[in-house]
Amino acid sequence: MITWMQKQRKYLIVTIWISTIAFVGAGFVGWGAYSYGADKAQAVATVGERTVLVRDFQLAYSNIYNYYNNMMKGDLTQEKAKELGLESVVLDKLIDEAVLASYADEIGLMATEDEVKEKLKSIPNFSENGSFNKDLYYKIIKQMGLKAKEYEESLKKEIVLEKIENIFQTPVTDLEKEVMAAAIFMSNKLEIKVIENINSESNISEESLKSYWLKNKAKYQTTKSYSLQTIDVEIKDMVVDAQKMKNYFDKNKHKYKTLEGKLKDFELAKNEVEIDYRFKLAKNQALIKYSKLKKGKIQSENKLVIFANEDGVEFDKLDKAKKDDFIKPIKLKNRYIISKLDSINFPESMKYEAAREKALEEFKKKRNYEMLEAKAKASVENFTGELTEYLTKDDGAGIKNLNPFEGRELLNIIFADKKKNGYKIFPQSNKIVLYKIIDQKLFNAQKLKESEEIIVRNIKQLKDVETNKNIISLLKKRYKIVKYFKGE
């Protein structure tokens, strides 16, 4: 995921408006060191007469950080965010919004109080039993560290931005729908031959395996690990007071929702609440023990090795530590651990005996693929297969002797390749598929009719993104832009 994000960093937030609404219920995250000009202590940038405030920047950064952290299943660290240049991306997006807002000021576009009220009512986090709850709204806003007036000003900005977007929207034409349908529903009539049950047995001598391992020695590394002396604080050992747990729920009830987004009552959420409350108690207990461990009042009880490929571990705490450092509580499965670092064990080349099984498995796969590829190349120019119906990219389930996954993979290659014939190797199932394109159809009126709503939505999204980009580019020449944020 991080690799994909690095490759796409220029486009990360092109289609995501930095919405205050989406932020509700998430927490602020830290976002690095920064500096400002002396006269703009509360600003990260100015655009014309508009100011991009530090508060807006932190809110937006937290929102986007939490969005991608959720995509990465909690695996996005501040270091990875820095690699992506997330701070700069967020600032650029806020400047784009300020450019549009400046234009709205110029043409007299604004949001009314009634529109803000309707927007508030549309936010599920502020609703209880399907209706807007004013007390819940104020409570959540307070927990976010915001004032209602500040939050409602952010909503006004969003409403204005939506209006600006609507001004520049253009209708989808019939020609655009037909072009999109041609791209999506292009269909090919194919001649296909599937060669199965190919004998892939090959003798691998110890000498050839060792030679393969030597050439690829750098691939076979031990996993980075951390050797720790630990004290465990298990959540099962926490004594739960029923009334205090209920009080905890009352303060945090906005976290507990049904799949439909409705708030759960205490009885329905009780099991989740108890786990969260036990973790809270365990963390408090762990912090007390951490203090005692540092002062030498208690000693470590266990030894533990944590490997760097384990899920859900706060590796940033471990990576920042030095030998003999005490490490603050780390959440680990159903417990917190307090630890003292014995060593960080960095990856090193595995000896042949340790790497042998993995090297053997990969060498067999390599040999097998080479044999399949040789057979495919020898057969592809002159084969006789079976004719298919006209197939689109989505018709992978209709190819004889291929499962739906294999069928989709084959069709993706055929539609992406410019060649009229070729082959696809499926080494896992020991298959070769030879194909020729016999005929092609570019437009399918029936498919367009069936999927018109989706096609129109896709065209509209593409046009909106491109239009916004061009308009913002023009408007940036109209207003003076000054950045005060310097980053680290």
Lowest mean pLDDT of 2-11, 54-63, 253-262, name the range: 2-11
Please determine, for residue 286, whether its predicted confidence score (pLDDT) is greater than 80. Answer: yes
> Within 13 Å, how many C-alpha atoms sit on residue 16's CB side?
20
Tell me: do 226 and 321 sit in the same domain.
Answer: yes
DSSP state for residue 189 in the 8-state scheme: E
Tell me: do 87 and 163 sit in the same domain.
Answer: yes
Q: State both tokens at 222.
A: 């031990």
Q: Could you tell me the CATH number of the domain that includes residue 160? A: 1.10.4030
Q: Is residue 413 part of a domain?
A: yes
48-91 per-position pLDDT tens digit: 999 998 888 888 888 888 888 777 777 778 778 888 888 888 89
CB of 59 closer than 8 Å to CB of 23 = yes
User: Could you tell me which residue, 60 or 247, shows the higher pLDDT?
Assistant: 247
> In whole angstroms, what is the distance from residue 77 CA to residue 320 CA?
13
Please determine, for residue 291, whether its predicted confidence score (pLDDT) is greater than 90. Answer: yes
How many structural domains comprise the chain?
3
Tell me: do 145 and 103 sit in the same domain.
Answer: yes
User: Could you tell me which residue, 71 or 415, shows the higher pLDDT?
Assistant: 415
Tell me: do 326 and 422 sit in the same domain.
Answer: no
Q: Is residue 294 part of a domain?
A: yes
Looking at residue 77, its pLDDT comes to 80
Q: Is residue 16 part of a domain?
A: yes
Residue with tokens 């349908």: 181
Tell me: do 264 and 201 sit in the same domain.
Answer: no
Tell me: do 8 and 128 sit in the same domain.
Answer: yes
Mean of the per-residue pLDDT values of the chain: 85
Looking at residue 296, its pLDDT comes to 92
Q: What CA–CA distances, in Å, run from 189 to 184, 387, 396, 437?
A: 16, 7, 13, 6
Tell me: do 226 and 322 sit in the same domain.
Answer: yes
Q: In angstroms, how far apart are the furthest CA atoms of the chain? A: 81
Tell me: do 34 and 116 sit in the same domain.
Answer: yes
Please determine, for residue 15, whether its predicted confidence score (pLDDT) is greater than 70. Answer: no
- Name 257's bridge partners: 263
> In whole angstroms, what is the distance from residue 137 CA to residue 148 CA?
9
- Give the mean model confidence (pLDDT) for residues 431-445: 87
> In whole angstroms, what is the distance from residue 74 CA to residue 430 CA?
37
Tell me: do 368 and 411 sit in the same domain.
Answer: yes
Residue type, 323: K
The last residue of one of the domains, among 345, 370, 389, is 345
Domain enclosing residue 57, as ranges = 2-169+465-483
421-434 per-position pLDDT tens digit: 999 999 888 899 99
Tell me: do 229 and 336 sit in the same domain.
Answer: yes
> Within 13 Å, how many C-alpha atoms sit on residue 1's CB side?
12
90-142 per-position pLDDT tens digit: 899 999 999 999 999 999 999 999 999 999 998 888 888 888 998 998 888 88
> In whole angstroms, what is the distance from residue 96 CA to residue 473 CA?
9
Question: Highest mean pLDDT: which of 85-99, 174-188, 442-456?
Answer: 85-99
Lowest mean pLDDT of 14-23, 111-120, 306-315, 438-447, name the range: 14-23
pLDDT band (50, 70, 90) for residue 488: low
Looking at residue 487, its pLDDT comes to 59
Instruction: Give the percent of the chain with pLDDT over 90.
Output: 43
Q: Is residue 249 part of a domain?
A: yes
163-180 per-position pLDDT tens digit: 888 888 888 888 888 888
pLDDT band (50, 70, 90) for residue 201: low
Looking at residue 229, its pLDDT comes to 95
* C-alpha distance across the termini of the chain, in Å: 24
DSSP-assigned letters across all residues of 114-143: HHHHHHHHT-GGGEETTEE-HHHHHHHHHH
Q: What CA–CA distances, in Å, run from 69 to 20, 274, 290, 310, 321?
A: 17, 25, 28, 17, 23
Looking at residue 243, its pLDDT comes to 95
pLDDT band (50, 70, 90) for residue 486: low
Q: Is residue 450 part of a domain?
A: no
Looking at residue 82, its pLDDT comes to 82
- Give the mean model confidence (pLDDT) for residues 460-464: 84
DSSP-assigned letters across all residues of 68-123: HHHHTTT---HHHHHHHTHHHHHHHHHHHHHHHHHHHHHHT----HHHHHHHHHT-
CB of 103 closer than 8 Å to CB of 47 = no
Angle at 134 between CA 130 and CA 137, to 5 degrees: 90
Number of H helices and E strands in the chain, helices first, is: 17, 13
Q: How many residues does the chain have?
A: 488
